[in-house]
Structure 1
Amino acid sequence: MGLGVIDLPTFCLEGTVEEVFYKKGRPKVVILKTATGTVWIKLEKSLRRELQQVPTVGDRLRLEGTISDKYDGWVKQYKASHLEFLATAQPSAAKRSQPCKVLICQKSSCCRRGAKELWQELEAQQLPIALKATGCMGECKRGPAVVVLPHKKRLTRANAQQIRELVCSTEA
């Protein structure tokens, strides 16, 4: 008795990417919002390796592949073997207009070295930043310790001039 070839049902879906999950730096699963609902689609390993452009949230895609049953038919697993970009998402202006966030250590040794004065100075300058007090960052001997987000720049012995320059460089 030989092994038979099983024909799996196929699919062709178009939709907008809601989320992408990665494994080892490559996209593994794409959550696609279609006209009928939201679908989790796993990308075949060969497709993951061949991708020239990585799907991002907001992209319009067409995916083709097979559907298989898992857990005795309770779950349908979509596995894509072909991916086509219909349109790519444009970067939104809302993300660019987010203010920088400045994290300032509030541990006592950082405060003794000028963290509170730095905080007051930054508030007085009315820069487009959000100040946030944090716990120890492990740099209190060289305080005040500061982290400027979104580019995660760590500063020690920070002053308001350094932070102003970093904030201005991210706005440009």
Structure 2
Amino acid sequence: MAGSAHRGGAAAGHVAEHGAGGAATRPSDYIWALARISIGWVFLWAFLDKTFGWGFGTPADRAWVGGASPTTGYLKGTARKPLGAVFSPLAGHAWADWLFMLGLLGIGVALILGVGLRLAAVLGGLLLLLMWAAELPPEHNPFMDYRLVYALVIVGLALVNAGDTLGFGRWWGNTALVRRYPFLR
């Protein structure tokens, strides 16, 4: 009897605190949301800087809008790495530039808005894994670097539905498109 009264009290408290249809938002949900937005900004900033050459990572004379290739510097720099024979020849091809830049933009926007996190986790994880492989071995560690850490965090963000807090994830998940194709969640 006491157990059922306790469960009823807890449920009533939950409804009073979060509303009849709402899910609880814990402090950790905000941390995950801030991590999502932060990593999204890393991707979006890379896109913007490479596109416009704002001088942080890309000088103005190497901007994509000025005709420079956003993949050339990085991929040509992998020529002496163990997998350089795989990655270096891809440098400067228009299709590689477009895939890379659309990936940065799409992953960044998805993470910042909190929509399409499953797809962003797969594509972002793949992009980061390829960039990690191109740099093998990493400069400061035998195998681990920030790209692998970001990939793991992005997957975690998708698994905990981090787009629902400070994002449009809950709304996105209830759209007809996402209900029909849940991998877009």
TM-score band by shorter chain is under 0.3
Q: Of Structure 1 and Structure 2, which has the larger fraction of its residues in strand? A: 1
Q: Normalising to structure 2: TM-score of the pair?
A: 0.20
Query: Relative contact order (C-alpha < 8 Å, sep 6+): which is higher?
Result: 2
Q: Normalising to structure 1: TM-score of the pair?
A: 0.21
* Structure showing greater Rg: 1
